[in-house]
Amino acid sequence: MMGQVYFGIFAAVAVFCALSVMFSRHPINGAMALIGTMVSLAGIYSLIASPFLATIQILVYAGAIMMLVVFVIMVLNSAKEHTIPVVDGMGPLGLLSAASLGALFIRVFVGLDDKASVKMNPQAPRGDVEAISQTLFGSGTHTGGWALLFLAIGLVLLTAIVGAVLLAKRHLDTPIAQTEGGH
């Protein structure tokens, strides 16, 4: 019973913060609201017995990724951003298509025929660190090649770092030391 109450609170906070991401004026306000959404989603994750994912959500999403976003917002903090209108003439059309997409999703879930057969399984294993690492790196029969994907993710992140450094440099032919020297 208490879980249902907590879920209601977290869901209301998540939707409210997401709406204020949509309509806030300054990017910093939007980023703070997005952090609110991510933290309440982490609460929901731990309610559905996934404590490891909840921790990762807070550490990586609300911590690292949003820190990067806020950092870049502050680097580019120019007064001109305030002159960009929040919504322009195409706004109502965009809202309409987003609302119809959401309505389509909800219609699919509500209109399922055998709703009773799709239920939460109370015996489903709890997603703590040990169970997740067994699925990721274990040598049992249930490993779906996740360890290989885990290595591939390392390559993807390395490529992303190199690409980001190359993109953010002022000129492609200046060495990094010169760029940092303030030339």
Q: What is the torsion angle, in degrees rounded to the nearest 10, for the CA atoms of residue 48, residue 34, residue 105 and residue 44?
A: 10
| Residue 97 Cβ vs another protein, minimum distance, rounded to whole Å | 6
CB nearer to another protein: give 1 or 177: 1
Min dist CB 177 to another protein, Å, is 19
Residue-wise burial string across 119-156, b where 16 or more C-beta atoms lie within 10 A, e elsewhere: eeeeeeeebeeeebeeeeeeeeeeeeeeeeeeeeeeee
Residues 6+ apart with CB under 8 A from 20: 29, 30, 33
Which C-beta is closer to another protein: that of 160 or that of 178? 160
CB of 182 to another protein, least distance (A): 15
Of the candidates 132, 125, 128, 124, which has an alpha carbon nearest to the alpha carbon of residue 51?
Answer: 128
Nearer to another protein, 161 or 178 (CB): 161
Question: What minimum distance in Å lies between the beta carbon of 142 and another protein?
Answer: 5
Place of tokens 């040990």: 130
Cβ proximity to another protein: between 80 and 181 the closer is 80
